[in-house]
């Protein structure tokens, strides 16, 4: 991303490594404590670099936060790209996608927390990021393909909106992680045991598939 500096005498300097390290540490801190809750001092202490470097590279606390947010979205969406729905029938493809999304959210709680925090801030920082918009567009494209194929083969209902479908899948997958603390505190349930999560996941898949398969007038 930047020109390599002359290797002469650059024995210990590793700008990229330093930046990566700062980002990794601060992402954890922001995810843990929020934007105002995170402490620059603490981030610096946990970093291999000094406090001054944070300001050198990221300007200020908000700049660092924004960088974390972008890195998180990029990382998570990159993980989604590995999902291969290629040869599958549309309903199987959708089922796999929903299940994957549910699992993927579970595996990335820090990302979920950053998004929660960003929502608390009314997406103020995300709005300014073209990078993030672009990585999310891909998710919609995937769904659009599946929907078109499903409708062509007659297994999906008409009038399906890919963005709405994304919303529905996200709702079930995101809430599961975002509201785990309050939900667990409020209800004595096994929903967050391993088996409970499997059930929740299966039922999420089922809900989505029932929904896209449902032909109005026929059943209701």
Partner DNA sequence: TATGAATGAGGCTTCATTCAT
Partner DNA sequence: AATGAATGAAGCCTCATTCAT
Query: What residue ranges bind a second copy (CB under 8 A)?
Result: 33-37, 113, 115-123, 126-127, 132-133, 136, 140, 161, 163-164, 166-168, 170-172, 174-176, 178-187, 189, 191, 199-200, 203, 206-208, 210-211, 214, 220
5 touches DNA by CB under 7 A: yes
Q: Which residues contact 211 (CB under 8 A, 6 or more apart)?
A: 168
**Contacting DNA within 50-109 (CB under 7 A):** 50-53, 55-56, 59-62
Report the nearest approach of DNA to the CB of residue 192 (Å). Answer: 31
Which of residues 50 and 119 has its CB atom nearest to a second copy in the complex?
A: 119
| Minimum CB distance to a second copy smaller for 21 or for 91 | 91
Contact between 153 and 185 under an 8 Å Cβ cutoff? The reply is: no
Min CB(112)–DNA separation in Å: 22
Q: Does 32 bind DNA (CB under 7 A)?
A: no
Q: Considering CB distances under 5 to 8 angstroms, the limit depending on partner class, which of DNA, a second copy, none binds residue 18? A: DNA
- Does 8 contact DNA by CB under 7 A? no
Q: Which does 164 bind (CB under 5 to 8 A by kind): a second copy, DNA, none?
A: a second copy
Q: Return the number of the residue (1 or 185) whose C-beta is nearest DNA.
A: 1
Binding residues (CB under 7 A) for DNA: these are 5, 11-15, 18, 38-42, 49-53, 55-56, 59-62
């Amino acid at each position: 991303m930047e020109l390599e500096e002359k290797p002469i005498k650059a024995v210990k300097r590793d700008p990229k490594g330093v930046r990566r390290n700062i980002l990794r540490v601060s992402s954890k801190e922001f995810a843990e404590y929020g934007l105002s809750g995170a402490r620059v001092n603490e981030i610096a202490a946990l970093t291999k670099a000094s406090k001054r470097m944070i300001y050198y590279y990221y300007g200020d606390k908000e700049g660092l936060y924004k960088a974390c947010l972008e890195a998180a979205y990029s990382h998570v969406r990159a993980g989604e790209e590995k999902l291969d729905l290629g040869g599958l029938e549309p309903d199987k493809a959708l089922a796999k996608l929903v299940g994957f999304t549910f699992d993927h959210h579970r595996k990335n709680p820090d990302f979920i927390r950053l998004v929660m925090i960003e929502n608390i801030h009314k997406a103020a920082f995300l709005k300014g990021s073209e990078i993030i918009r672009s990585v999310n567009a891909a998710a919609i494209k995937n769904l659009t393909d599946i929907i078109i194929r499903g409708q062509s083969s007659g297994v999906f209902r008409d009038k399906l909106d890919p963005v709405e479908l994304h919303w529905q899948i996200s709702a079930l997958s995101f809430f599961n992680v975002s509201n785990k603390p309050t939900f667990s505190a409020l209800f004595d349930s096994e929903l967050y045991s391993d088996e409970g999560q499997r059930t929740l996941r299966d039922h999420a898949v089922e809900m989505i598939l029932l929904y896209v398969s449902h032909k109005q007038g026929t059943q209701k």
